[in-house]
Structure 1
Amino acid sequence: MQQMKRLLVVYVALQALFALSWCFSDAEPGPAAGSQSNGDRFKIEGRAIVPGVKTQDWISTARILVEGEEYVGFLKTDGSFAVNDVPSGSYVVEIVSPSFRFDPVRVDITSKGKMRARLVNYIKTSEVIRQPYPLQIRSSGPHTYFMKRETWGWTDFLMNPMVMMMVLPLLIIVLLPKVVNTNDPEMRKEMEQSMNMLNPNPELPDVSEFMTKLFSKGSSKSSGGNKGSRSVAPKRSDTMCTSRPAQGGDVDPNSVSYTYLK
Protein backbone atom coordinates (compact mmCIF):
# COMPACT_ATOMS: atom_id res chain seq x y z
CA MET A 1 0.00 0.00 0.00
CA GLN A 2 2.79 2.39 0.82
CA GLN A 3 4.38 1.70 -2.56
CA MET A 4 1.12 2.51 -4.30
CA LYS A 5 0.87 5.79 -2.40
CA ARG A 6 4.44 6.68 -3.35
CA LEU A 7 3.77 5.93 -7.01
CA LEU A 8 0.63 8.08 -6.87
CA VAL A 9 2.55 11.01 -5.34
CA VAL A 10 5.29 10.72 -7.99
CA TYR A 11 2.67 10.64 -10.75
CA VAL A 12 0.94 13.76 -9.43
CA ALA A 13 4.28 15.57 -9.11
CA LEU A 14 5.21 14.71 -12.68
CA GLN A 15 1.83 15.98 -13.91
CA ALA A 16 2.32 19.23 -12.02
CA LEU A 17 5.81 19.74 -13.47
CA PHE A 18 4.51 19.06 -16.97
CA ALA A 19 1.71 21.60 -16.51
CA LEU A 20 4.13 24.24 -15.25
CA SER A 21 6.54 23.69 -18.12
CA TRP A 22 3.69 23.98 -20.62
CA CYS A 23 2.49 27.25 -19.09
CA PHE A 24 5.89 28.95 -19.28
CA SER A 25 6.73 27.69 -22.76
CA ASP A 26 6.15 29.84 -25.92
CA ALA A 27 2.70 28.82 -27.11
CA GLU A 28 2.81 30.92 -30.34
CA PRO A 29 6.25 30.80 -31.95
CA GLY A 30 7.04 33.16 -34.87
CA PRO A 31 6.97 32.06 -38.50
CA ALA A 32 10.74 31.76 -38.73
CA ALA A 33 11.10 30.12 -35.33
CA GLY A 34 8.39 27.58 -36.07
CA SER A 35 10.47 25.88 -38.73
CA GLN A 36 13.53 25.94 -36.46
CA SER A 37 12.16 25.13 -33.04
CA ASN A 38 15.37 23.30 -32.24
CA GLY A 39 17.67 25.47 -34.39
CA ASP A 40 20.18 28.13 -33.38
CA ARG A 41 19.31 31.76 -32.68
CA PHE A 42 21.42 34.70 -33.80
CA LYS A 43 21.98 38.36 -32.99
CA ILE A 44 21.60 41.37 -35.34
CA GLU A 45 24.05 44.12 -34.44
CA GLY A 46 24.66 47.60 -35.76
CA ARG A 47 24.96 51.31 -35.06
CA ALA A 48 22.73 54.29 -35.85
CA ILE A 49 24.51 57.49 -36.84
CA VAL A 50 23.08 61.02 -37.08
CA PRO A 51 25.78 63.42 -38.35
CA GLY A 52 26.16 66.58 -36.30
CA VAL A 53 23.74 65.56 -33.53
CA LYS A 54 24.54 64.13 -30.13
CA THR A 55 23.31 60.60 -29.59
CA GLN A 56 21.73 61.43 -26.23
CA ASP A 57 19.40 63.95 -27.90
CA TRP A 58 17.39 61.41 -29.89
CA ILE A 59 18.03 57.78 -28.81
CA SER A 60 15.42 57.91 -26.04
CA THR A 61 12.58 58.04 -28.58
CA ALA A 62 14.09 55.67 -31.18
CA ARG A 63 13.38 51.97 -31.58
CA ILE A 64 14.81 49.11 -33.65
CA LEU A 65 12.12 47.13 -35.47
CA VAL A 66 12.94 43.81 -37.11
CA GLU A 67 10.31 42.55 -39.56
CA GLY A 68 7.71 45.04 -38.43
CA GLU A 69 7.29 44.57 -34.69
CA GLU A 70 8.14 40.90 -34.54
CA TYR A 71 11.45 41.74 -32.81
CA VAL A 72 12.07 45.06 -31.06
CA GLY A 73 15.39 46.49 -29.90
CA PHE A 74 16.67 49.63 -28.19
CA LEU A 75 19.63 51.90 -28.73
CA LYS A 76 22.52 52.28 -26.32
CA THR A 77 24.07 55.59 -25.34
CA ASP A 78 26.73 55.29 -28.05
CA GLY A 79 24.14 54.60 -30.78
CA SER A 80 24.79 50.85 -31.03
CA PHE A 81 22.05 48.22 -30.86
CA ALA A 82 21.66 44.45 -30.75
CA VAL A 83 18.54 42.35 -31.34
CA ASN A 84 18.95 38.89 -29.83
CA ASP A 85 17.25 35.55 -30.32
CA VAL A 86 16.61 35.95 -34.06
CA PRO A 87 16.43 32.73 -36.13
CA SER A 88 17.88 32.40 -39.62
CA GLY A 89 15.92 34.03 -42.41
CA SER A 90 15.50 37.36 -44.21
CA TYR A 91 14.46 40.37 -42.14
CA VAL A 92 13.90 44.10 -42.71
CA VAL A 93 15.62 46.16 -40.02
CA GLU A 94 14.25 49.67 -39.46
CA ILE A 95 15.20 52.46 -37.07
CA VAL A 96 12.04 54.34 -36.11
CA SER A 97 12.52 57.86 -34.75
CA PRO A 98 10.13 60.83 -34.63
CA SER A 99 12.99 63.24 -35.32
CA PHE A 100 15.14 61.64 -38.05
CA ARG A 101 14.70 59.41 -41.09
CA PHE A 102 16.62 56.17 -41.60
CA ASP A 103 16.61 53.96 -44.68
CA PRO A 104 15.53 50.37 -44.02
CA VAL A 105 18.05 47.56 -44.44
CA ARG A 106 17.39 43.91 -45.26
CA VAL A 107 19.52 41.38 -43.38
CA ASP A 108 19.80 37.79 -44.62
CA ILE A 109 20.88 35.23 -42.01
CA THR A 110 21.95 31.77 -43.18
CA SER A 111 21.57 28.62 -41.14
CA LYS A 112 25.30 28.76 -40.38
CA GLY A 113 25.03 32.30 -38.99
CA LYS A 114 26.47 34.20 -41.96
CA MET A 115 25.08 37.75 -42.24
CA ARG A 116 24.52 39.73 -45.44
CA ALA A 117 22.96 43.22 -45.53
CA ARG A 118 21.61 45.38 -48.37
CA LEU A 119 19.49 48.49 -48.70
CA VAL A 120 15.76 48.12 -49.25
CA ASN A 121 14.49 49.83 -52.42
CA TYR A 122 10.72 49.51 -52.77
CA ILE A 123 10.74 51.18 -56.20
CA LYS A 124 13.63 49.28 -57.84
CA THR A 125 13.33 45.92 -56.17
CA SER A 126 15.95 44.33 -58.43
CA GLU A 127 18.64 46.88 -57.46
CA VAL A 128 21.06 45.52 -54.85
CA ILE A 129 23.23 47.90 -52.80
CA ARG A 130 25.38 46.00 -50.33
CA GLN A 131 25.90 47.31 -46.80
CA PRO A 132 28.64 46.44 -44.30
CA TYR A 133 27.96 44.25 -41.32
CA PRO A 134 27.68 45.06 -38.42
CA LEU A 135 25.19 47.58 -39.74
CA GLN A 136 26.13 51.26 -40.06
CA ILE A 137 22.80 53.03 -40.67
CA ARG A 138 23.11 56.77 -41.29
CA SER A 139 20.25 59.21 -41.05
CA SER A 140 19.01 60.68 -44.33
CA GLY A 141 17.84 63.88 -42.63
CA PRO A 142 15.22 65.18 -40.21
CA HIS A 143 11.52 64.59 -40.70
CA THR A 144 9.58 67.42 -42.35
CA TYR A 145 6.04 67.42 -41.04
CA PHE A 146 5.14 70.84 -42.47
CA MET A 147 5.64 72.35 -45.91
CA LYS A 148 7.94 75.36 -46.08
CA ARG A 149 6.13 78.60 -46.83
CA GLU A 150 7.00 80.02 -50.23
CA THR A 151 8.80 83.38 -50.30
CA TRP A 152 8.25 86.14 -52.85
CA GLY A 153 11.06 86.91 -55.29
CA TRP A 154 11.71 89.05 -58.35
CA THR A 155 12.07 85.97 -60.50
CA ASP A 156 8.52 84.91 -59.64
CA PHE A 157 7.27 88.33 -60.72
CA LEU A 158 9.22 88.37 -63.99
CA MET A 159 8.31 84.79 -64.90
CA ASN A 160 4.62 85.43 -64.33
CA PRO A 161 2.75 84.59 -67.57
CA MET A 162 0.67 87.78 -67.39
CA VAL A 163 3.77 89.96 -67.04
CA MET A 164 5.48 88.18 -69.92
CA MET A 165 2.41 88.68 -72.13
CA MET A 166 2.54 92.42 -71.41
CA VAL A 167 6.29 93.01 -71.58
CA LEU A 168 7.27 90.92 -74.61
CA PRO A 169 4.97 92.69 -77.11
CA LEU A 170 6.23 96.07 -75.87
CA LEU A 171 9.82 94.97 -76.35
CA ILE A 172 9.02 93.75 -79.85
CA ILE A 173 7.33 97.04 -80.77
CA VAL A 174 10.21 99.14 -79.43
CA LEU A 175 13.16 97.08 -80.62
CA LEU A 176 11.86 95.73 -83.94
CA PRO A 177 12.05 99.04 -85.88
CA LYS A 178 15.64 99.49 -84.69
CA VAL A 179 16.71 96.00 -85.68
CA VAL A 180 14.86 95.65 -88.99
CA ASN A 181 15.54 97.94 -91.95
CA THR A 182 12.20 99.75 -92.22
CA ASN A 183 13.12 101.45 -95.50
CA ASP A 184 13.22 98.13 -97.33
CA PRO A 185 9.79 97.70 -99.03
CA GLU A 186 10.20 93.94 -99.48
CA MET A 187 10.95 93.40 -95.82
CA ARG A 188 8.00 95.58 -94.86
CA LYS A 189 5.68 93.63 -97.15
CA GLU A 190 6.78 90.28 -95.74
CA MET A 191 6.23 91.47 -92.19
CA GLU A 192 2.78 92.80 -93.02
CA GLN A 193 1.81 89.46 -94.57
CA SER A 194 3.09 87.49 -91.60
CA MET A 195 1.25 89.76 -89.17
CA ASN A 196 -1.98 89.44 -91.16
CA MET A 197 -1.72 85.66 -90.92
CA LEU A 198 -1.71 86.03 -87.13
CA ASN A 199 -4.81 88.22 -87.24
CA PRO A 200 -7.60 86.13 -88.82
CA ASN A 201 -10.42 87.89 -86.94
CA PRO A 202 -11.76 90.81 -89.01
CA GLU A 203 -13.17 92.55 -85.93
CA LEU A 204 -9.70 93.09 -84.52
CA PRO A 205 -7.59 96.03 -85.75
CA ASP A 206 -5.54 95.44 -88.85
CA VAL A 207 -1.98 94.60 -87.89
CA SER A 208 -0.55 95.45 -91.31
CA GLU A 209 -1.96 98.96 -91.08
CA PHE A 210 -0.43 99.35 -87.64
CA MET A 211 2.94 98.12 -88.89
CA THR A 212 2.76 100.48 -91.88
CA LYS A 213 2.15 103.45 -89.61
CA LEU A 214 4.93 102.35 -87.31
CA PHE A 215 7.43 102.01 -90.14
CA SER A 216 6.28 105.21 -91.80
CA LYS A 217 7.10 107.09 -88.61
CA GLY A 218 10.61 105.74 -88.65
CA SER A 219 11.09 106.56 -92.32
CA SER A 220 9.62 110.05 -91.88
CA LYS A 221 12.09 110.74 -89.08
CA SER A 222 14.99 109.68 -91.26
CA SER A 223 13.73 111.70 -94.23
CA GLY A 224 13.16 114.72 -91.98
CA GLY A 225 16.77 114.57 -90.91
CA ASN A 226 17.89 114.51 -94.54
CA LYS A 227 15.75 117.55 -95.38
CA GLY A 228 17.18 119.45 -92.48
CA SER A 229 20.69 119.00 -93.85
CA ARG A 230 19.81 120.51 -97.23
CA SER A 231 20.25 124.25 -98.03
CA VAL A 232 17.21 126.50 -97.72
CA ALA A 233 15.66 127.37 -101.12
CA PRO A 234 15.21 131.11 -101.95
CA LYS A 235 11.81 132.62 -101.45
CA ARG A 236 9.69 133.01 -104.52
CA SER A 237 8.71 136.47 -105.76
CA ASP A 238 5.11 136.66 -106.91
CA THR A 239 4.43 139.33 -109.54
CA MET A 240 1.21 140.12 -111.33
CA CYS A 241 1.99 140.22 -115.02
CA THR A 242 -1.06 140.71 -117.20
CA SER A 243 -4.72 141.47 -117.08
CA ARG A 244 -7.30 140.70 -119.74
CA PRO A 245 -10.16 143.20 -120.11
CA ALA A 246 -13.65 141.97 -120.88
CA GLN A 247 -15.53 142.77 -124.13
CA GLY A 248 -17.05 146.27 -124.45
CA GLY A 249 -14.11 148.21 -123.07
CA ASP A 250 -15.11 148.04 -119.43
CA VAL A 251 -13.00 146.04 -117.11
CA ASP A 252 -14.88 143.35 -115.24
CA PRO A 253 -13.07 142.48 -111.99
CA ASN A 254 -14.39 138.90 -112.19
CA SER A 255 -12.90 138.39 -115.63
CA VAL A 256 -9.41 139.55 -114.75
CA SER A 257 -6.89 136.71 -114.82
CA TYR A 258 -3.73 136.77 -112.77
CA THR A 259 -0.49 135.03 -113.57
CA TYR A 260 2.21 134.54 -110.94
CA LEU A 261 5.81 133.90 -111.77
CA LYS A 262 8.32 132.31 -109.43
Structure 2
Amino acid sequence: MKLSVDGTFLLKLICLTFFVGVQSNDGETSKEWFKIEGKVQAPDAWARLNPDWKLHTYVLIDGGEYRAFLRDDASFSVSVPSGSYVVEVSNPTVFYEPVRVDINSKGKFRARRINHIQPSAVSQMTYPLKFKPGMPYRYFQQREQWRITDLLFSPMVLMMFLPLILIFILPKMMNDPETRKEMENIQMPKYEMPEMSEMLTSLFGGGDAKKTTKSSGSKGVVKRK
Protein backbone atom coordinates (compact mmCIF):
# COMPACT_ATOMS: atom_id res chain seq x y z
CA MET A 1 0.00 0.00 0.00
CA LYS A 2 2.78 2.34 0.88
CA LEU A 3 4.63 1.57 -2.35
CA SER A 4 1.53 2.29 -4.42
CA VAL A 5 1.06 5.66 -2.72
CA ASP A 6 4.70 6.61 -3.32
CA GLY A 7 4.46 5.53 -6.95
CA THR A 8 1.33 7.62 -7.50
CA PHE A 9 2.99 10.66 -5.93
CA LEU A 10 6.08 10.23 -8.11
CA LEU A 11 3.94 9.88 -11.24
CA LYS A 12 2.06 13.07 -10.41
CA LEU A 13 5.34 14.91 -9.83
CA ILE A 14 6.69 13.81 -13.21
CA CYS A 15 3.49 14.87 -14.96
CA LEU A 16 3.56 18.27 -13.26
CA THR A 17 7.18 18.85 -14.25
CA PHE A 18 6.44 17.92 -17.86
CA PHE A 19 3.41 20.22 -17.94
CA VAL A 20 5.41 23.18 -16.59
CA GLY A 21 8.16 22.57 -19.17
CA VAL A 22 5.66 22.47 -22.00
CA GLN A 23 4.06 25.70 -20.81
CA SER A 24 7.44 27.45 -20.63
CA ASN A 25 8.35 26.29 -24.12
CA ASP A 26 5.00 27.49 -25.42
CA GLY A 27 5.64 30.87 -23.79
CA GLU A 28 9.05 31.16 -25.42
CA THR A 29 7.79 30.17 -28.85
CA SER A 30 4.83 32.49 -28.54
CA LYS A 31 7.16 35.54 -28.36
CA GLU A 32 6.92 37.76 -31.39
CA TRP A 33 10.15 38.22 -33.32
CA PHE A 34 11.21 41.32 -35.22
CA LYS A 35 13.83 41.88 -37.89
CA ILE A 36 16.72 44.29 -37.44
CA GLU A 37 17.66 45.40 -40.93
CA GLY A 38 20.43 47.55 -42.29
CA LYS A 39 23.25 47.98 -44.76
CA VAL A 40 27.02 48.17 -44.43
CA GLN A 41 29.02 50.59 -46.55
CA ALA A 42 32.69 50.19 -47.43
CA PRO A 43 35.33 52.61 -48.75
CA ASP A 44 35.23 52.58 -52.55
CA ALA A 45 38.97 52.25 -53.13
CA TRP A 46 39.34 49.59 -50.45
CA ALA A 47 36.30 47.67 -51.74
CA ARG A 48 37.77 47.59 -55.26
CA LEU A 49 41.04 46.20 -53.93
CA ASN A 50 39.19 43.69 -51.70
CA PRO A 51 36.15 42.42 -53.62
CA ASP A 52 35.56 39.62 -51.11
CA TRP A 53 35.29 41.95 -48.10
CA LYS A 54 31.67 40.87 -47.49
CA LEU A 55 32.85 37.33 -46.71
CA HIS A 56 34.98 38.66 -43.85
CA THR A 57 32.32 40.99 -42.44
CA TYR A 58 29.78 39.93 -39.81
CA VAL A 59 26.96 41.63 -37.95
CA LEU A 60 27.05 40.85 -34.24
CA ILE A 61 24.21 41.57 -31.83
CA ASP A 62 24.98 41.72 -28.10
CA GLY A 63 28.52 40.51 -28.62
CA GLY A 64 27.61 37.53 -30.80
CA GLU A 65 24.40 36.24 -29.20
CA TYR A 66 22.83 36.77 -32.62
CA ARG A 67 24.89 36.82 -35.79
CA ALA A 68 24.22 37.64 -39.43
CA PHE A 69 26.11 37.61 -42.72
CA LEU A 70 26.00 40.19 -45.48
CA ARG A 71 24.10 39.69 -48.69
CA ASP A 72 25.48 40.52 -52.12
CA ASP A 73 24.26 44.10 -51.81
CA ALA A 74 25.90 44.41 -48.33
CA SER A 75 22.54 44.37 -46.53
CA PHE A 76 21.63 42.19 -43.54
CA SER A 77 18.61 41.07 -41.55
CA VAL A 78 18.48 39.51 -38.05
CA SER A 79 15.36 38.23 -36.26
CA VAL A 80 15.26 39.02 -32.53
CA PRO A 81 12.54 39.37 -29.88
CA SER A 82 11.64 42.75 -28.43
CA GLY A 83 14.29 44.37 -26.26
CA SER A 84 17.38 46.57 -26.40
CA TYR A 85 20.35 45.36 -28.45
CA VAL A 86 23.82 46.56 -29.39
CA VAL A 87 24.44 46.05 -33.10
CA GLU A 88 28.03 46.14 -34.33
CA VAL A 89 29.84 45.29 -37.55
CA SER A 90 32.94 43.12 -37.27
CA ASN A 91 35.59 43.55 -39.95
CA PRO A 92 39.34 42.90 -39.57
CA THR A 93 40.35 45.97 -41.57
CA VAL A 94 37.78 48.77 -41.15
CA PHE A 95 36.18 50.05 -37.94
CA TYR A 96 32.41 50.62 -37.73
CA GLU A 97 30.70 52.51 -34.93
CA PRO A 98 28.25 50.31 -32.97
CA VAL A 99 24.58 51.26 -32.65
CA ARG A 100 21.95 50.51 -30.02
CA VAL A 101 18.52 49.43 -31.29
CA ASP A 102 15.46 49.47 -29.00
CA ILE A 103 12.41 47.39 -29.98
CA ASN A 104 9.20 47.62 -27.96
CA SER A 105 6.48 45.00 -27.76
CA LYS A 106 4.52 46.72 -30.56
CA GLY A 107 7.44 46.42 -32.98
CA LYS A 108 8.53 50.05 -32.96
CA PHE A 109 12.24 50.56 -33.64
CA ARG A 110 14.54 53.28 -32.35
CA ALA A 111 18.22 53.45 -33.28
CA ARG A 112 20.65 55.66 -31.35
CA ARG A 113 24.35 56.17 -30.94
CA ILE A 114 26.20 54.59 -28.04
CA ASN A 115 27.60 57.25 -25.71
CA HIS A 116 29.68 55.77 -22.90
CA ILE A 117 30.51 59.19 -21.44
CA GLN A 118 26.87 60.35 -21.18
CA PRO A 119 24.62 57.29 -21.33
CA SER A 120 21.51 59.42 -20.75
CA ALA A 121 22.21 61.53 -23.86
CA VAL A 122 20.15 60.24 -26.80
CA SER A 123 21.35 60.80 -30.37
CA GLN A 124 18.91 59.10 -32.72
CA MET A 125 19.91 57.60 -36.05
CA THR A 126 18.02 56.64 -39.16
CA TYR A 127 16.43 53.22 -39.51
CA PRO A 128 17.05 50.86 -41.32
CA LEU A 129 20.62 51.04 -40.11
CA LYS A 130 23.41 52.41 -42.29
CA PHE A 131 26.90 51.60 -41.10
CA LYS A 132 29.49 53.98 -42.54
CA PRO A 133 33.19 53.05 -42.54
CA GLY A 134 35.50 54.66 -40.04
CA MET A 135 39.26 54.64 -39.63
CA PRO A 136 41.16 51.51 -40.65
CA TYR A 137 42.72 49.42 -37.91
CA ARG A 138 46.44 49.79 -37.28
CA TYR A 139 47.91 46.58 -35.94
CA PHE A 140 51.52 47.78 -36.20
CA GLN A 141 53.12 51.03 -35.12
CA GLN A 142 54.27 53.09 -38.07
CA ARG A 143 57.98 53.79 -38.21
CA GLU A 144 58.90 57.45 -37.81
CA GLN A 145 60.31 59.14 -40.91
CA TRP A 146 62.90 61.89 -41.00
CA ARG A 147 61.55 65.30 -41.94
CA ILE A 148 63.23 68.66 -42.39
CA THR A 149 60.71 70.28 -40.04
CA ASP A 150 61.97 68.09 -37.20
CA LEU A 151 65.40 69.64 -37.64
CA LEU A 152 64.16 73.21 -38.00
CA PHE A 153 61.92 73.08 -34.94
CA SER A 154 64.36 71.27 -32.69
CA PRO A 155 65.19 73.14 -29.44
CA MET A 156 68.91 73.47 -30.25
CA VAL A 157 68.28 75.08 -33.64
CA LEU A 158 65.72 77.46 -32.17
CA MET A 159 68.15 78.50 -29.43
CA MET A 160 70.82 79.24 -32.05
CA PHE A 161 68.82 81.09 -34.70
CA LEU A 162 66.17 82.90 -32.69
CA PRO A 163 68.61 85.38 -31.07
CA LEU A 164 70.20 86.04 -34.47
CA ILE A 165 66.81 86.81 -35.93
CA LEU A 166 66.07 89.22 -33.10
CA ILE A 167 69.44 90.95 -33.49
CA PHE A 168 69.57 91.41 -37.27
CA ILE A 169 66.00 91.40 -38.51
CA LEU A 170 64.12 93.17 -35.73
CA PRO A 171 66.01 96.52 -36.05
CA LYS A 172 65.38 96.57 -39.80
CA MET A 173 61.69 96.16 -39.23
CA MET A 174 61.54 99.25 -37.02
CA ASN A 175 60.67 102.48 -38.83
CA ASP A 176 61.37 104.84 -35.94
CA PRO A 177 65.00 106.08 -36.24
CA GLU A 178 65.28 106.87 -32.52
CA THR A 179 64.15 103.41 -31.53
CA ARG A 180 66.52 101.91 -34.07
CA LYS A 181 69.40 103.95 -32.64
CA GLU A 182 68.57 102.80 -29.11
CA MET A 183 68.53 99.19 -30.25
CA GLU A 184 71.90 99.61 -31.95
CA ASN A 185 73.37 101.14 -28.80
CA ILE A 186 72.05 98.25 -26.73
CA GLN A 187 73.37 95.64 -29.14
CA MET A 188 76.80 97.24 -29.77
CA PRO A 189 77.72 99.49 -26.83
CA LYS A 190 80.49 102.02 -27.51
CA TYR A 191 83.16 101.90 -24.87
CA GLU A 192 84.77 105.28 -24.02
CA MET A 193 88.46 105.02 -24.91
CA PRO A 194 90.92 107.32 -23.08
CA GLU A 195 92.89 109.86 -25.11
CA MET A 196 96.50 109.19 -26.07
CA SER A 197 97.86 112.24 -24.14
CA GLU A 198 96.22 111.09 -20.92
CA MET A 199 97.66 107.62 -21.35
CA LEU A 200 101.20 108.99 -21.90
CA THR A 201 100.88 111.36 -18.95
CA SER A 202 99.72 108.58 -16.66
CA LEU A 203 102.55 106.32 -17.78
CA PHE A 204 105.51 108.74 -17.58
CA GLY A 205 104.67 111.72 -15.39
CA GLY A 206 101.39 111.00 -13.75
CA GLY A 207 102.88 110.21 -10.30
CA ASP A 208 105.02 113.41 -9.99
CA ALA A 209 102.20 115.59 -11.17
CA LYS A 210 99.90 114.21 -8.49
CA LYS A 211 102.55 114.75 -5.79
CA THR A 212 103.19 118.36 -6.87
CA THR A 213 99.52 119.14 -6.87
CA LYS A 214 99.14 117.68 -3.38
CA SER A 215 102.18 119.55 -1.99
CA SER A 216 101.12 122.85 -3.50
CA GLY A 217 97.71 122.41 -2.06
CA SER A 218 99.14 121.74 1.42
CA LYS A 219 101.44 124.82 1.31
CA GLY A 220 98.62 127.11 0.43
CA VAL A 221 96.79 126.24 3.63
CA VAL A 222 97.77 128.49 6.59
CA LYS A 223 96.99 127.43 10.10
CA ARG A 224 95.22 129.97 12.24
CA LYS A 225 96.44 130.55 15.73
> Shorter-chain TM-score: what band?
0.5 to 0.7
Say which is worse superposed, 55-64 or 167-176, in terms of deviation. 167-176
Q: 1:75 and 1:181 mapped to 2: Cα distance?
A: 75
Q: Provide structure 2 residue ranges, at least 5 long, that are not aligned to the other structure.
A: 1-14, 192-225
* Distance in 1, Cα, partners of 2:65 & 2:132: 23
Give the Cα separation in 1 of the matches to 2:119 and 2:141: 29
Q: Which has the larger radius of gyration?
A: 1
Question: Residue 112 of structure 2: SS of its match in structure 1?
Answer: strand
- Equivalent residue, structure 1, for 2:129: 135
Determine which structure has the larger helix proportion and give its number.
2
SS at match of 1:144: coil
Kindly provide the CA deviation profile for residues 116-141 of structure 1, in whole angstroms up to 9, marking residues without a partner as x. Answer: 11121223433322222111111113
The aligned residue for residue 164 of structure 2 is 170
Given the alignment, which residue of 189, 192, 196 partners 1:215?
189
* Contact map agreement 1:177 1:215 (CA 8 A) in 2: no
Could you tell me which residue of structure 2 aligns to residue 109 of structure 1? 103
Q: Where do 1:43-122 residues align within 5 Å?
A: 43-52=35-44, 53-54=47-48, 56-84=51-79, 86-122=80-116
Correspondence list, 1:31-50, <5 A: 38-50=30-42
1:177, CA displacement in angstroms? 6.4
Superposition deviation, residue 145 in structure 1: 1.8
Render the CA deviation track for 1:48-73: whole Å, top value 9, x for unaligned. Answer: 11130258421111111101121111
SS in 2 for 1:163: helix
Task: Quote how far apart the aligned CAs of 1:172 are.
Answer: 3.1
RMSD of the TM alignment (CA)?
3.4
Moved over 4 A (4+): 175-180
Q: Which runs of 5+ in 1 are unaligned?
A: 1-14, 30-34, 192-210, 218-262
Q: TM-score if structure 1 supplies the norm length?
A: 0.54
Q: Normalised by the size of structure 2, how large is the TM-score?
A: 0.62
Distance 1:41 1:170, change over 3 A: same
Q: Which has the higher contact order (CA 8 A, sep 6+)?
A: 2
Q: Aligned partners of 2:91 and 2:57: how far apart in 1? A: 4
Structure-1 residue corresponding to 2:212: none
Q: Distance in 2 between matches of 1:75 and 1:49?
A: 11
Cα distance change, pair 216–81 in 1 and its aligned pair in 2 (3 A): same
Q: Check the 8 A contact 1:58/1:99 in 2, yes or no.
A: no
Corresponding residue of 1:239: none
Q: Distance in 1 between matches of 2:148 and 2:154?
A: 10
Identity, in percent, stands at: 43
Cα contact 1:71–1:83 (8 A) shared by 2 = yes
Query: By how many angstroms is 1:142 displaced?
Result: 2.0
